[in-house]
């Protein structure tokens, strides 16, 4: 059981997918890369830090009771969203995934309020201690909105970077975004292209 407040979230978890549900899906990529397929969200405090980093929980909110049941719930929801985003509602186990997604989306999201911080600035806070079901509802509702919006779905892209499976929402001008992150996968592609050119010149 973990109690976590504000703190840095793992640097490899970027929140630039365009939707919080896609940011959750992106955590699967680290699991794919890990030896033995160990689940990154199960590491001590990692899920709690992800919740803060993704904006589901305001920074500084104490998170008590984040345990294996929380991890199981978010991993299950992640797999359902991943399946529906990549393959659509007609493929494979889509009906099972939809059933789980809709069940999670029925829950009420956490109540929020505006409070003054130490400097007198209004900041967002939760009305009560966050519960797993309420936080799952936020992600599930975001996925429902994405999956039922034809315009948003048409902007779904998979990163073209080598060995990258991240899915993101392309809101760029002209819809020409190729990478999940220009600074990460985009930069790797530019470096690789430069090395290929240098190799050709040397030969």
Give the predicted TM-score (pTM) of the model: 0.83
Residue 2: what pLDDT? 34
* DSSP per position, 139-195: HHHHHHHHHT-HHHHHTEEE--STT---EEE--SGGG---SS-IIIIIHHHHHHHHH
Whole-number Å distance between alpha carbons of 162 and 58? 34
Q: What is the mean pLDDT of the chain?
A: 84
Q: How many CA atoms lie within 13 A of 38 on its CB side?
A: 8
Q: Which residues contact 13 (CB under 8 A, 6 or more apart)?
A: 23, 26, 27, 30, 50, 53
In contact, 120 and 133? CB cutoff 8 Å: no
pLDDT of residue 11: 47
Spell out the per-residue pLDDT of the chain, length 203, in tens. Answer: 333 343 444 445 678 899 999 999 999 876 565 556 678 898 778 999 999 999 999 988 988 889 999 999 999 999 999 999 988 777 767 899 999 999 999 999 999 999 999 999 999 999 999 999 999 999 999 999 999 999 999 999 988 887 788 899 998 887 888 777 777 776 776 666 656 665 656 65
pLDDT digits (tens, 9 = 90+) for 134-174: 999 999 999 999 999 999 999 999 888 877 888 999 988 87
Output the CA torsion sign for 169, 104, 2, 7. Answer: positive
């Amino acid at each position: 059981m973990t109690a976590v407040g504000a703190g840095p979230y793992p640097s490899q978890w970027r929140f630039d997918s365009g939707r919080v549900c896609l940011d959750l899906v992106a955590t699967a990529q680290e699991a794919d890369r890990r030896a033995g397929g160990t689940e990154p969200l199960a590491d001590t405090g990692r899920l709690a830090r992800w919740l803060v980093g993704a904006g589901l929980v305001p920074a500084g909110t104490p998170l008590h009771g984040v345990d294996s049941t929380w991890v199981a719930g978010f991993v299950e929801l992640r797999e359902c969203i991943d399946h529906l985003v990549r393959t659509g509602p007609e493929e494979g186990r889509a009906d099972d995934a939809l059933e789980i997604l809709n069940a999670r989306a029925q829950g009420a999201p956490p109540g929020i309020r505006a409070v003054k911080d130490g400097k007198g600035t209004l900041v967002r806070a939760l009305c009560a201690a966050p519960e797993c079901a309420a936080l799952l509802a936020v992600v599930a509702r975001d996925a429902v909105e994405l999956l039922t919006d034809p315009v948003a779905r048409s902007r779904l892209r998979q990163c073209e970077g080598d060995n990258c499976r991240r899915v993101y929402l392309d809101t760029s001008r002209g819809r020409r975004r190729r990478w999940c992150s220009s600074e990460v996968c985009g930069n790797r592609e530019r470096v690789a292209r430069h090395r290929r050119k240098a190799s050709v010149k040397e030969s």
